[in-house]
Chains A and B, each alone.
Chain A
């Protein structure tokens, strides 16, 4: 079982330090910092994703929805993948829904016209999350046309495996 974070004690003069104190406030906290809560999805699917939605929607409500139980720290979230808009001049946009609200809003975190297969990637730092369980959903939309999101499904020259991850920092 991974260690949990405990707010460190403020030590006082002549305080009796027990093994339990050391285990909780030094060992466990160091172990937590060494291996903080982390979750990730590396896809290898049988079919690519596609969308015609001009409103932000989940890329995959199951496989690209991450759940992380945090101790109140900020969360670093990252994504890397390849996409194409088969409509040519139209764009693809990405954002992350965190506990029901989009991180960036508007046209999202990143976006680009993708007339050819194009790389999309971002890393964002979400602060202000209370300790507890949080969900992170990768979302996308297009400005028109059809967006294609490669999933390692064997497409020639685009057999790319997207990676979506989150880690408390």
Chain B
């Protein structure tokens, strides 16, 4: 393993994607901590590979997110909105057919709650 210490902030997922786009399987990952940012390259990394990795890290913009990070953020925003939309506990009395709203509307409301619960479960499972 060839470790390269970079003393700057980074979005490590985005930086890894940028490194992989250029250096391919030579890139083993990126780590960060109080010490800074560490680029992990394979043992076979040549001097020019290390130089290229340093150049990519220097040009890296930590504010730019990966498509996956954007998707995760959008999912969290949708989930937060759905939680707000369903803040009131479900009251079974509201769903008795023929008492209140038309049956089609009741089914639609139940389906919306079910879809929200499915989203919550998928989020808990990290899917």
Residues of A within 8 A of B (CB): 45-55, 57-63, 85-90, 113, 115-116, 141-142, 146, 149, 151
A48 to B12 alpha-carbon distance, docked (Å): 13
A89 contacts B12, CB within 8 Å? Answer: no
B28 contacts A115, CB within 8 Å? Answer: no
Report A-chain residues with C-beta under 8 Å of the C-beta of B13.
52, 146
A115 contacts B32, CB within 8 Å? Answer: no
Residues of B within 8 A of A (CB): 1, 3, 12-13, 16, 28-35, 38, 40, 72, 124-127
Report A-chain residues with C-beta under 8 Å of the C-beta of B12.
50-52, 146
A46 to B126 alpha-carbon distance, docked (Å): 27
A60 to B34 alpha-carbon distance, docked (Å): 9
From the candidates B30, B125, B126, name the one contacting A51 in the complex (CB within 8 A).
B30
Report B-chain residues with C-beta under 8 Å of the C-beta of A51.
12, 29-32
From the candidates B30, B38, B72, B126, name the one contacting A115 in the complex (CB within 8 A).
B126
Distance to closest chain B CB from A161 (angstroms): 13
B16 contacts A47, CB within 8 Å? Answer: no
Task: List, sorted by A's number, 9 A–B pairs whose CB atoms are closer than 8 Å.
Answer: A47-B32, A50-B33, A53-B28, A55-B29, A60-B34, A61-B35, A90-B126, A115-B126, A142-B29
B35 contacts A88, CB within 8 Å? Answer: no
Most central of A51, A89, A90, A116 by chain B CB within 10 Å? A51
A76 to B72 alpha-carbon distance, docked (Å): 41
A89 contacts B127, CB within 8 Å? Answer: yes
Those 9 A-B pairs whose CB atoms lie nearest each other, nearest first = A88-B126, A53-B29, A115-B126, A51-B31, A49-B33, A52-B29, A55-B28, A89-B126, A45-B34
A57 to B51 alpha-carbon distance, docked (Å): 21
Report A-chain residues with C-beta under 8 Å of the C-beta of B40.
53, 55, 57
Distance to closest chain B CB from A51 (angstroms): 4
A88 contacts B127, CB within 8 Å? Answer: yes
B126 contacts A57, CB within 8 Å? Answer: no
Report B-chain residues with C-beta under 8 Å of the C-beta of A86.
72
Distance to closest chain A CB from B121 (angstroms): 12
A87 contacts B30, CB within 8 Å? Answer: no
Distance to closest chain B CB from A98 (angstroms): 16
B34 contacts A52, CB within 8 Å? Answer: no
Distance to closest chain A CB from B59 (angstroms): 19
A50 contacts B35, CB within 8 Å? Answer: no
Distance to closest chain A CB from B17 (angstroms): 9
A85 to B34 alpha-carbon distance, docked (Å): 19
A45 contacts B33, CB within 8 Å? Answer: yes
